[in-house]
């Protein structure tokens, strides 16, 4: 790719002073137009004339040249970045900095109508682009260069510890101008296949490690899950070569540049065995560690192990718990388990603590890991298991919830006497006053909660006293549902049990899970089938997608067939036995009795009970009508209707199960995107998941953001699938939102996660809550002191321990009388009254043209103090910082 030609600071300065360097027009009424690669540039502020110089809006042209522009309101400075080029201007100043070199402008930058305007040729040549002035047409033509390149100098090193991807350390030299790079992809290729690996194969490969550009050359190790381009896990004894590809962003859309390969490397490490199948169970009721029993499958090979350590981690911290943090856990905060047992298991003690040092207790969700410790006593050779499922220890004696609520249709009264309810009593009834049986219409059951339950009138529930045993209760003839309607045949119900606490506050009440659905029916001679289960198990878009499963009637001796009745969910609450009997033959599916429970796909021709074809996008429920084989003077005696199934809406089953519970928080203080940490719950089934992509969407555009937008996004943070637990991922410095804007302070964003499928459709999560960055300041210099030798003052200082984001240091002198009120804003606004210091010292002298911070000439006999201003680069950090004042000093004439 063609490289950008840099111009020296001297050439820039000369170009700015030549009259021909900046176009002008004698006809002020004729507007000047700017074209970039033949496309006219339109900006809010039009070019203007100042003398014989043309001033143009900086942001519009810089951003069109793929440069990033940062405005520092406090310092009144404009910083621009494009690859390795850095340009810094101060409003009203004739001094600019290009790549660290000072340049003098004959026309200073200024603000017009809210836009910063600067000399045209300066902003184009400072970024190495060609500029041509056409006096006839009064147009400026800027020609850009193609700067998208592959990374170089790829090396691969064997660390020799684990025998998997963790042993492979990769280094490479970044693309010079990363403003065109969306991400790098690291491909590990078996050496035997390396000669045939090219860009085409890199584009089609799904097995790579994504690396985000960070402005620096990169060195990192892969993970234990890393795979080669054949999809096989990296292993010891196999020679590999590594390639790194640069993937273009929207400014280099569709481009991929592939590096030459590294030299061949063969992994040699040998990992110790890893525990697996970790399970944590609440097995007692002490309210401490004695309640927690941990079991796991021992490592397949324990020869390199000395034993195991059981580590209990608060579930909120589990996603960030890794081998490094596990190795650092203090001995008093884990439980040792010796190797050798066929089925390792341990019940913890009352003194057991979690990894943060807190005693285990009820009500806190915990996740358990098992660390396999190496017999070599080398912590880096230890291995960490996958996480257990989260477990929360129940509070001592606090289980007051009824459980296993079930219902059955036992009689033929057509009222509450047909409904029998069974449930298991609360574990501890000392805190229980009574139970209340609540019959809820199935159509309202999904939204029924504890608040609804507490508000039900006493006329609309059945009270049941505790007996010390599990309970069975047949309702009465005048029993009513929670709406106050009599219980009757043909209506779908679910039953809840409210456990009423022994106190007077409803806050001690607990609501059970619901029973299965039931619809009472006449039971004269034909038995009802069990309530069916409905599932979407196909992709035909008709009745063949519906799988109906149900238990047969208890007695099929007088039964001739079953009829499967598909009802739109909205009509199911009013569908009853009479409705079922009246359905014409064309609108149901007949199933012969088999003497066993049944599972049956319907047919492409199956219609719902209204005669409409079954199709995608419509919610359905199913009833099973049992049809008798005998004639009866009572029509209902020859039929029985089951309860209603769950609701199903047919849809394509090829979409991957998506990430959920997306959250974003600001956990750092750099003022860059690296402060943002994103967490989400991985897909419930990652078999078809290729990767996740974190998408930052400006909050004002998040409401309309769609899956189609996400699939087309160039800017994202890729995350490998985790395999277990929750995923946490910090963004990187320089991360962009989905529209290409750098994530900066003041911006408000919502975070989405796109789950990318290996095959089929991707899935987009719901957005996070709004998150924004706050501005961060660089660190101030320290130890500022001044010494005087007659008319010369020498100021020395020590750079801060953290120099992240500092572009330069400016030393300035302030009259001692003004020093107490001298602020970072005063210092930042000083245009030329300072001395740059890269070595930690700076000198000032009388009669040399040096001035104080306010532009006044230095004077003999006046007391001064020195300050050092740390200038933020505007890219990593945006706010300057001012040191403390030096000692007082006085200059004297020689």
Domain harbouring 209, CATH code: 2.60.40.10
Which of 259-269 are b and which e, b meaning 16 or more Cβ less than 10 Å from the residue's Cβ?
A: bebbeebebeb
Distance CA 509, CA 507 (A): 6
Yes or no: say if 9 and 102 are a contact pair by the CB < 8 Å rule: yes
Beta-ladder partners of 116? 111
Confidence of residue 133 (pLDDT cuts 50, 70, 90): confident
Distance CA 229, CA 238 (A): 13
Yes or no: say if 453 and 402 are a contact pair by the CB < 8 Å rule: no
- Kindly tell me if the per-residue pLDDT of 523 is higher than 60: no
The verdict on 385 and 408 lying in the same domain is no
The verdict on 420 and 499 lying in the same domain is yes
Helix (H, G, I), strand (E, B) or coil at 352: coil
Cα separation values, 709 from 304, 704, 705, Å? 50, 9, 6
What is the phi/psi pair of residue 444, to 5°? Answer: -110, 0
- Kindly tell me if the per-residue pLDDT of 110 is higher than 90: no
The answer to whether residue 639 is domain-embedded is: yes
| Closest to 203 (Cα-Cα) out of 223, 187, 180, 226 | 187
Helix (H, G, I), strand (E, B) or coil at 291: helix
Domain boundary among 739, 772, 805: 772
Express each pLDDT in 743-769 by its tens digit. Answer: 877 788 999 999 988 766 788 898 998
The verdict on 107 and 28 lying in the same domain is yes
- Kindly tell me if the per-residue pLDDT of 266 is higher than 80: yes
**What's the N-to-C CA distance of the chain in angstroms?**
60
List the single range of 102-111, 264-273, 449-458, 460-469 with lowest mean pLDDT.
264-273
| Closest to 174 (Cα-Cα) out of 192, 204, 150 | 150
Assigned token pair, 248: 């273009």
- Kindly tell me if the per-residue pLDDT of 434 is higher than 70: yes
The verdict on 541 and 450 lying in the same domain is no
The answer to whether residue 361 is domain-embedded is: no
Residues 6+ apart with CB under 8 A from 561: 590, 591, 592, 593, 627
- Whole-number percent of the chain with pLDDT over 90: 36
Between 359 and 10, whose confidence is greater?
Answer: 359
DSSP 63: H
Confidence of residue 524 (pLDDT cuts 50, 70, 90): low
Yes or no: say if 546 and 601 are a contact pair by the CB < 8 Å rule: yes
The verdict on 514 and 565 lying in the same domain is no
Distance CA 544, CA 542 (A): 5
Domain that holds residue 688: 660-772
Between 644 and 134, whose confidence is greater?
Answer: 644
Q: In the prediction, which pLDDT does 481 show?
A: 96
The verdict on 716 and 790 lying in the same domain is no
The upper half-sphere exposure of residue 308, i.e. CA atoms within 13 Å in the direction of its Cβ, equals: 29
* CATH code for the domain of 101: 3.30.457.10
- pTM beyond 0.85: no
Between 89 and 164, whose confidence is greater?
Answer: 89
Confidence of residue 432 (pLDDT cuts 50, 70, 90): confident
DSSP 10: H
Q: In the prediction, which pLDDT does 635 show?
A: 53
The verdict on 187 and 117 lying in the same domain is no
Residues 6+ apart with CB under 8 A from 333: 311, 353, 354, 355, 356, 357
The answer to whether residue 654 is domain-embedded is: no
Residue whose tokens read 């001297």: 10
Helix (H, G, I), strand (E, B) or coil at 191: helix
Yes or no: say if 850 and 839 are a contact pair by the CB < 8 Å rule: no
Q: In the prediction, which pLDDT does 161 show?
A: 66
What angle (nearest 5°) sits at the alpha carbon of residue 16, between those of residues 14 and 17?
A: 70
* CATH code for the domain of 743: 2.60.40
Assigned token pair, 857: 């000439």
How many other C-beta atoms lie within 10 A of the C-beta of residue 817? 11
Distance CA 317, CA 311 (A): 12
The answer to whether residue 351 is domain-embedded is: no
- Kindly tell me if the per-residue pLDDT of 654 is higher than 70: no
Express each pLDDT in 269-286 by its tens digit. Answer: 655 578 889 999 988 766
Express each pLDDT in 687-739 by its tens digit. Answer: 778 899 999 999 888 877 888 788 878 889 999 887 677 888 889 888 899 88
List the single range of 144-153, 195-204, 333-342, 581-590 with lowest mean pLDDT.
144-153
The answer to whether residue 409 is domain-embedded is: yes
- Domain tally, the chain: 7
Distance CA 373, CA 309 (A): 7
Region 443-457 average pLDDT: 90
Domain boundary among 744, 772, 800: 772
- Whole-number percent of the chain with pLDDT over 70: 88
Region 413-440 average pLDDT: 86
Beta-ladder partners of 564? 589, 624
What is the phi/psi pair of residue 328, to 5°? Answer: -90, -5
| Closest to 71 (Cα-Cα) out of 746, 659, 579 | 746
| Closest to 147 (Cα-Cα) out of 14, 17, 6 | 6
The verdict on 46 and 136 lying in the same domain is yes
Name the helix (H) or strand (E) containing 406: strand 403-409
Q: In the prediction, which pLDDT does 412 show?
A: 66
Yes or no: say if 851 and 831 are a contact pair by the CB < 8 Å rule: no
The verdict on 139 and 160 lying in the same domain is no
The answer to whether residue 356 is domain-embedded is: no
The answer to whether residue 798 is domain-embedded is: yes
- Kindly tell me if the per-residue pLDDT of 796 is higher than 70: yes
Q: Sort strands 518-519 and 471-474 into parallel, antiparallel or unpaired.
A: unpaired
The dihedral sign for the CA sequence 613, 614, 617, 622? positive
Express each pLDDT in 461-515 by its tens digit. Answer: 999 999 888 999 999 988 999 999 989 888 899 999 999 887 676 777 888 889 9
Distance CA 106, CA 101 (A): 16
The verdict on 186 and 292 lying in the same domain is no
Diameter of the chain measured on Cα atoms: 131
DSSP character string of 805-852: TEEEEEEEEEETTTGGG--HHHHHH-SSSSEE-SSSEEEEETTTT-B-
The verdict on 582 and 707 lying in the same domain is no
How many other C-beta atoms lie within 10 A of the C-beta of residue 664? 22
The verdict on 100 and 170 lying in the same domain is no
Domain boundary among 225, 241, 266: 266
- Kindly tell me if the per-residue pLDDT of 774 is higher than 70: no
Confidence of residue 10 (pLDDT cuts 50, 70, 90): very low
């Amino acid at each position: 790719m063609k490289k950008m030609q840099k111009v020296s600071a001297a050439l820039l300065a000369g170009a700015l002073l030549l009259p021909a360097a900046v176009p002008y027009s004698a006809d002020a009424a004729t507007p000047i137009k700017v074209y970039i690669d033949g496309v006219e540039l339109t900006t809010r502020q039009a070019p203007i004339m100042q003398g014989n110089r043309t001033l143009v809006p900086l942001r519009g042209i810089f951003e069109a040249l793929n440069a990033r522009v940062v405005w520092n309101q406090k310092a009144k400075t404009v910083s621009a970045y494009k690859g390795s080029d850095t340009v810094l201007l101060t409003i009203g100043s004739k001094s600019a900095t290009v790549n660290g070199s000072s340049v003098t402008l004959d026309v200073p930058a200024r603000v017009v109508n809210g836009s910063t305007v600067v000399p045209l040729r300066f902003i184009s040549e400072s970024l190495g682009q060609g500029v041509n002035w056409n006096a006839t047409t009064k147009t400026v033509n800027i020609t850009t260069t193609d700067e998208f390149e592959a990374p170089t100098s790829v090396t691969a090193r064997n660390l020799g510890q684990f025998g998997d991807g963790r042993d492979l350390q990769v280094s490479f030299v970044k693309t010079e101008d990363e403003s065109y790079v969306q991400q790098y992809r690291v491909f590990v290729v078996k050496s035997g296949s390396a000669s045939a690996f090219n860009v085409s194969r890199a584009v089609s490969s799904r097995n790579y490690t994504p690396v985000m550009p960070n402005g620096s050359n990169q060195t990192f190790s892969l993970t234990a899950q890393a795979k080669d381009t054949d999809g096989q896990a990296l292993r010891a004894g196999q020679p590999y070569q590594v390639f790194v590809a640069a993937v273009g962003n929207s400014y280099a859309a569709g481009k991929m540049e592939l590096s030459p390969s590294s030299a061949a490397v063969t992994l040699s490490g040998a990992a110790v065995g890893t525990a697996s199948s970790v399970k944590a169970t609440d097995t007692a009721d002490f309210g401490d560690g004695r309640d927690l029993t941990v079991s796991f499958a021992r490592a397949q090979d324990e020869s390199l192990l000395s034993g195991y350590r059981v580590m209990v981690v608060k579930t909120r911290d589990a996603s960030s718990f890794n081998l490094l943090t596990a190795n650092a856990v203090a001995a008093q905060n884990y439980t040792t388990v010796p190797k050798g047992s066929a089925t390792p298991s341990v019940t913890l003690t009352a003194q057991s603590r979690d990894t943060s040092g807190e005693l285990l207790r009820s009500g806190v969700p915990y996740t358990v890991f098992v660390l396999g410790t190496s017999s070599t006593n080398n912590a880096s050779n230890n291995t960490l298991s996958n996480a257990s499922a989260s477990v929360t220890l129940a509070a001592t004696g606090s289980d007051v919830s009824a459980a296993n609520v079930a219902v059955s249709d036992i009689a033929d009264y057509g009222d509450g006497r047909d409904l029998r309810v069974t449930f298991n009593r609360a574990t501890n009834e000392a805190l229980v006053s009574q139970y209340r049986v609540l019959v809820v219409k199935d159509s309202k059951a999904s939204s029924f909660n504890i608040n609804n339950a507490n508000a039900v009138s006493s006329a609309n529930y059945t009270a049941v006293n505790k007996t010390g045993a599990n309970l069975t209760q047949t309702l009465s003839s005048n029993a009513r549902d929670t709406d106050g309607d009599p219980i009757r045949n043909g209506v779908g119900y679910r039953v809840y049990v409210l456990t009423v606490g022994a106190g007077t506050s409803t806050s001690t009440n607990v609501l059970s899970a619901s029973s299965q659905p039931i619809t009472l029916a006449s039971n004269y001679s034909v038995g009802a089938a069990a309530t069916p289960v409905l599932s979407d198990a196909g992709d035909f878009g008709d009745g063949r997608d519906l799988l109906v499963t149900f238990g047969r009637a208890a007695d099929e001796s007088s039964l001739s067939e079953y009829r499967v009745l598909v009802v739109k969910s909205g009509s199911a609450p009013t569908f009853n036995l009479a409705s079922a009997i009246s359905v014409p033959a064309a609108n149901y599916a007949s199933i012969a009795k088999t003497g066993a429970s049944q599972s049956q796909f319907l047919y492409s021709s199956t219609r719902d009970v209204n005669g409409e074809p079954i199709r995608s996008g419509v919610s359905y429920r199913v009833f099973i009508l049992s049809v008798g084989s005998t004639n009866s003077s009572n029509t209902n005696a020859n039929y029985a209707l089951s309860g209603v199934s769950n609701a199903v809406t047919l849809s394509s089953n090829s979409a991957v199960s998506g990430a959920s519970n997306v959250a974003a928080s600001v956990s750092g203080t750099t003022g860059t995107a690296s402060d943002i940490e994103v967490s989400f719950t991985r897909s419930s089934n990652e078999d078809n998941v290729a990767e996740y992509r974190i998408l930052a969407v400006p909050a004002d555009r998040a409401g309309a953001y769609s899956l189609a937008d996400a699939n087309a996004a160039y800017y994202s943070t890729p995350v490998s699938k985790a395999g277990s637990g929750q995923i946490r991922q910090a963004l990187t410095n320089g991360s962009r939102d989905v529209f290409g804007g750098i994530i900066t302070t003041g911006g408000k964003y919502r975070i989405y996660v796109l789950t990318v499928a290996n095959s089929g459709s991707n899935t987009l999560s719901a957005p996070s809550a709004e998150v924004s960055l706050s501005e961060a300041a660089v660190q101030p210099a320290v130890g500022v002191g001044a010494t005087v030798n007659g008319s010369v003052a020498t100021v020395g200082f020590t750079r801060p321990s953290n120099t992240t984001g500092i572009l330069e240091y400016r030393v300035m002198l302030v009259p001692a009388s003004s020093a107490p009120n001298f602020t970072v804003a005063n210092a930042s606004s000083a245009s030329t009254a300072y001395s740059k210091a890269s070595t930690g010292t700076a000198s000032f002298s009388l009669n040399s043209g040096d001035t104080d911070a306010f532009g006044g000439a230095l004077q003999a006999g006046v007391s001064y103090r020195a300050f050092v201003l740390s200038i933020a680069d505007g890219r990593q950090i945006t706010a300057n910082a001012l040191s403390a004042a030096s000692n007082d000093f006085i200059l004297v004439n020689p």
